Structure formats: structure tokens, C-alpha cells
Amino acid sequence: MSEIFLFILLLYALAGIVPLCIRKKRIWEISSLIMGVGGLLLVVSCLFAALHNYSIPVLKISISALYPVTLGIDRLSAVYSVLLGILTVAVSMYTPGYLDRMHGDRRKYLVSSLIPLFLVSMLLVIFSQTLIAFLIFWEIMAILSFFLVLTEYEEARTRYAAIFYLAMTQLSTVFIFFGIILLRLITGSFAYPDKVSGSDVLIPVSFFCLFIGIAIKSGVIPFHKWLTHAHPAAPSPVSALMSGMMISTALYALVRVLTRFYETDISWGYVMLVFGCLTAVLGVMYALKEQDLKGLLAYSSIDNTGVVLIGLSLWVIFASYGQLDIATMALVGAIFHSVSHGIFKGLLFLTAGSVCQAAHTRNIDELGGILVRMPSTGLLFFIGILSISAIPPFSGFIGELLIYQALIGGLMSLDPYAQVVMIIALALFGLTGALTVTTFVKAFGLTFLALPRSSGAENARETPFFMVAGPAVLAGMSIVLGVCAYHILGIFGYPGLMPDLSTVAVLLLITTCLVYGAVYAGASQKTKISRTWDCGMHAPGSMNEYTGSGFTEPVVRFFSPVFRTKITVSKQYHDSFQCLFRTGEAGIYLMKFFEECLYLPVARGIDRYAGYVSGLQNGSVDRYVLYVFLMVIALIIVLGWSS
């Protein structure tokens, strides 16, 4: 069995090497074909391993006895590997058509080469079974994704996004590194630890180092800013993989750390619950006001990371109270939601990429009327929206329902203070769901409906077949995961956690068909062309429609303390009595709170420190001799004091 997984890794590596070595026209189609075959094999083999709960060693390489690099697969890693395989198949179908429409052959070769290598790096992170292996492949994943974000390097905004992402991802690696070193000091080994416990202060420190490292990569607020820069800047297949798979890989790592590495503490659960609620609510609030279509999806990824984090925190809290059934429900809900988020977010990013490429804009205010011009893409985007909005029986509904059930079902077993915390968390969770629906009503309504608001939207045309077929795979999986969730959970050994939605799905389908048939049969078959009611206005155009800002303005105004909205008005008058108006300006300014209050002050502090250190190196030999002399004196004092 391990030979199959080695063969799959070889296929991914081959798909990455082919475009680098062979500069033939449309070589990326061959690369994508090899990658797609690897993804299909991965789905089949990992599904088999997950259903039979196999634990399979794949590879063991030791640089030395101290640094073992071991790869293997168990049920948890098999589940996330299936997700990676499904995304691989979808992206391999979508990418050739997308690259055909890009400019620059070198860029196309590079992207088609780096995508399979990026996928294999994530697969190796999931397969890792030692801390050293995890760290090595985590860093390779970070570097490869940095180069993919830098694809459109001619644009200053892309270079800024890539550098910002590089800084954040390296900060993530630093925290992961410290966490691993501390675990090595605690256990004396680089093997995955097994339920570390005790009163050693290094245990919680190592956990929070790992947690912060993972939180940066998965976009937990306040470490989230890289997503909103990197996702819009990267090509759409890359955005789909970064949001759909890389975030899921980070969440997989958090599940692994929580369920295997430590005997968890209830205080850790409450800390994670605070981060989860903050991330879910603020993520969707920022998504609501975003006018960049890919930026909106990036903020939505932050929101969904918060939802998964809430589920994992509930597992820690209820397990600490001894409520193992409720804790299991929360954990299953978190894992299910992270997997389904990978599916529907990949779907949304791919379809949004098709729209942006066809209309030559990402600005929602410049779109509109796309559904008539790109009906297949519009239908797939709509399925993604139903799923992300947690509408039954789509996959996004399942994980959130399980987390809701855990929140409500376990409430009475907690002490009064914990009940208050849970009720607040429940209210914030509900607010997140309501704002998510509002956000995606805006995204679909202003992008796909009404009249086009730019020449790009006016001239948009449907994408080639395979650019529709790739997202269609993800749309189909989103429906299957939702409709068959009851049976899937039963096969994995968790029967009865939720009702069977297949009956609901069949009833919905029959009802839809009956309504459509009745309307079709009762409607006149004659073609009639007339103007719709226009409220008395003559020939209203696209300028009369809602803009994205106008649609969300009431909500933005209501939550203005969060957005820190500032409305500025300046007026000039011809007379001193301010009666005769001459000119004026007005503006709405939304403060970038975390960027302006957290990132920039830290960056300025580092810049000042670097300037001070640089000033110490002035080239004077006398000053360098003085530094050495002071250091010797300091060493003598310290060593003398310690002796």
C-alpha cells in the first residue's frame, strides 16, 4: 500500500518538473493531466484508508538518528488528503484554460510548475509523523506559496502583497520552530509526542507557540491581514488552493496538536473560544463591506476559520467537563466544516476567477449582469453561496449544525459562569450566520444580476468547458457531502449526530420540479417583449442600481464603532456668513484597525531599532575596539557574579 502513496508523490513531483524542463507550447496541459491523475489516485487510496481506519507507514528517511523524517497516513490525515485530492482534480481541469488567458509564457510555465509542487508540499505536511518532517515541509509550503503569490510581479500591489505574506509566513515558521524546540526539550525526542501532561511551564508555552504559528497561517484575527493581500493578488487557481487547502492544512495541524500532542487544559479552550468568536464575527463584518470580489472571499475564509476554531475550543471545554459525547460532536463538526470549507471555497474562488478574467475587473461595483452572459459559472457560484451560507442540504450546513448542537446541548452541564460565556458565544455565532447570508446576497446580486456596470461586464463571455467542469466537480462534492452527511458520519463511526437530510433533499427536488412544471405549463408560450416596471423613471440604467457600498451602508453604519467609520466634510463659501456655497469635499474613511494600530506600530519600532543598530556601525576602528572592551567587561562581571 505504501508504494501507491510513493507513486502518487512521484506523479505530483513529475507534474511540477515537466514544465520546467520542457518548454513546449501548452505543456501545462500535460502537467495538469499528470497532476489530475495523481489527485484521482490520492482520492481513491486515501478514501480506502479512511474508511478502513488504516494506519500506513509511507516513508522513513533519517538524516541522523536525532532528526528522523517519517511519513505515514492515518484516518485523520487520510480525510484531509482526500480533500487535497479532490481540489487537485478540480484545479487540474481548470488551470490550463486559465493559463491560456494569462499574459507571458514564462509566467505560465512557472505557475504550472509550482502548483503541483505546492500541492505535494501540503500533502507532505499532512503525511508528516515527526516534528522535524513537519517543520521542513511547512517551510517548503510557505516558500512555494510566496512565489505563487508573486506571479503578477510587475504590479506594485502584488509585490507588496507577496512581501507582506512572506513576512507573516516566516513569523509563523518562527513560532512553530520555537514550539517544536520546546517539545523536544520536554520529551527528549522529535517524534510526535503522545498526550504530554504535567506542571512543567514549558508545556503551555510550547502549545501557545504552536497555536500562534498555526493561527497566523490559518488567518485567525489579529494575524489575518496577509489573506486579504495575498488572495486577491494571486492567480485564481492559487487562491483556491491557498484558501481551500492551505488553511485546511493549518487547521489539520491544530487538530493534530490538540488531539494527540497534549492533555489539553480548559483554559486553553476558553482562549481559543475568544479567538474563534473574534475571528468569525470580525471576519464576516469585514467581508460585508469589501468591494473586491476575491477580497470578499478572503475575508470569508477568515470567518470560516473562526467557525472551525469555535468547534475545536468547544471540544477542549466539554472534554474537560467530562461531556465526551458533546465534545465529540463539536470536534466532528469542526473537522467536517474545515473539509467542506475547502470544497466550497475552492469552488467560489475558481468561479470568481472566471468572472474576473472575463470581465477584466474584480470590483463588484463594476460587474452586474454576469448571469446572462456566463450562466454555467453563475449557477456554480450560486451553489457555492448556498453552501457557504449554511443552507440545507448543502455541505456548509452540516458542520455549523453540529457546532450549534454542541453549544446548545452541552449548555446545562456547565457551571453558571461557563453558561454565560457559552450564551455569548452562541449569540455571536448566530450573528456570524446572519451576516454571512447578507454578505453573499450582496456578492451574488451585485455581480450576477441586474445590468452590467462596465464595458468589461457587458462583454463578458462564458469560459471554456474545462474551466466550468473543474468547479462543477467541487459543486457536486458540496451537494454530496451535504445530502449524504448522515451516512458518511455513520460510516466513520459517528451515527446519529444529525438527522438524515437525503429525504429533505429529495422532497426539495420534487417540490422544485413540480413548481417549475406548474409555472411552465400555466405560462403563455408566446414571446412577449416589454419593459419591466421602472417606478415611473424613463429607461433606468445601471447607474440607478444599488452599488456594493449602498447595499451594505446601513449595516456598516450600525457597526460603525467596529469599522471606525469617519465621515469628513469640508466646505468653502463665497461670503463670511456661510450662505453662498462655493465648493466642498466629502469622504467616507474606514479605518484599517489592525494594520494601523498593530502592524504599522510594530513595523515602525523595528525600523527605528534597525536604524539605531545601523548607526552603531560607522566604520570607526576606535569605536569597534570600545565595543569589544565593553563586552569583555560585561562578561567578566556576569561570569564573576555567577561563580
List phi, psi (to 5°) of 301: -65, -40
Mean of the pLDDT values across residues 274-291? 91
Pairing of strands 56-62, 581-590: unpaired
Mean of the pLDDT values across residues 425-438? 92
Reply yes or no on whether the pLDDT at 104 is more than 90.
no
pLDDT tens digits for 380-410?
999 999 999 998 888 999 999 999 999 988 8
Residue 207: predicted pLDDT: 93
Among 10-19, 31-40, 55-64, 86-95, name the one with the lowest average pLDDT: 55-64
Q: Is 584 exposed, middle or buried (0-12, 13-18, 19+ CB in 10 A)?
A: exposed
Residue 504: predicted pLDDT: 82
Mean of the pLDDT values across residues 45-50? 88
pLDDT tens digits for 195-238?
888 888 899 999 999 999 999 999 898 888 888 888 888 899 99
Mean of the pLDDT values across residues 425-431? 92
Residue 547: predicted pLDDT: 76
Reply yes or no on whether the pLDDT at 539 is more than 80.
no
pLDDT tens digits for 310-319?
999 999 999 9
- pLDDT tier at 306, thresholds 50, 70, 90: very high
Q: If you average pLDDT over each of 173-177, 282-286, 388-392, 529-533, which comes out highest?
A: 173-177
- pLDDT tier at 4, thresholds 50, 70, 90: confident
Residue 641: predicted pLDDT: 66
Other Cβ atoms closer than 10 A to 548: 24
Reply yes or no on whether the pLDDT at 351 is more than 80.
yes
Integer Cα distance of 562 and 60 in angstroms: 50
Nearest by Cα to 442 from 601, 248, 297, 253 = 297
Q: Output the CA–CA distances (angstroms, integers) from residue 273 to 34, 209, 310, in the order listed.
A: 42, 17, 5
Kindly state the cell numbers that stand for 156: 506594485
Could you tell me what percent of the chain has a pLDDT over 90?
43
Please confirm whether the linkage preceding 232 is cis (ω < 30° from 0): no
Mean of the pLDDT values across residues 77-82? 93
Residue 257: predicted pLDDT: 93
Handedness of CA 70, 73, 74, 77 (dihedral sign): positive
Residue 590: predicted pLDDT: 67
Task: Count CA atoms closer than 13 A to 364's CA, side-chain side.
Answer: 30
- pLDDT tier at 597, thresholds 50, 70, 90: confident
Question: What element of type H or E holds 368?
Answer: none
Q: Is 20 exposed, middle or buried (0-12, 13-18, 19+ CB in 10 A)?
A: middle
List phi, psi (to 5°) of 585: -135, 145
Residue 78: predicted pLDDT: 92
Mean of the pLDDT values across residues 343-351? 94
Rg (CA), the chain: 27
Mean of the pLDDT values across residues 23-46? 89
Mean of the pLDDT values across residues 245-268? 92
- pLDDT tier at 596, thresholds 50, 70, 90: confident
- pLDDT tier at 3, thresholds 50, 70, 90: confident
- pLDDT tier at 546, thresholds 50, 70, 90: confident
Q: Is 25 exposed, middle or buried (0-12, 13-18, 19+ CB in 10 A)?
A: exposed
Q: How far is CA 287 from the centre of its chain?
A: 13
Residue 588: predicted pLDDT: 67
Rounded to two decimals, the pTM is 0.89
Residue 119: predicted pLDDT: 93
Could you tell me what percent of the chain has a pLDDT over 70?
96
Kindly state the cell numbers that stand for 573: 463659501
Decide: helix, strand or coil at residue 226. helix
Mean of the pLDDT values across residues 295-301? 92
Q: What is the mean pLDDT of the chain?
A: 87
Among 242-246, 348-352, 422-426, 566-570, name the one with the lowest average pLDDT: 566-570
pLDDT tens digits for 125-152?
999 999 999 999 999 999 999 999 988 8
pLDDT tens digits for 440-490?
999 998 899 888 888 888 888 999 999 999 999 999 999 999 999 988 888
Reply yes or no on whether the pLDDT at 340 is more than 90.
yes
Integer Cα distance of 123 and 43 in angstroms: 12
Residue 643: predicted pLDDT: 59
Residue 281: predicted pLDDT: 92
Other Cβ atoms closer than 10 A to 463: 24
Nearest by Cα to 251 from 325, 300, 177, 302 = 302
Reply yes or no on whether the pLDDT at 548 is more than 80.
no
Reply yes or no on whether the pLDDT at 64 is more than 80.
no
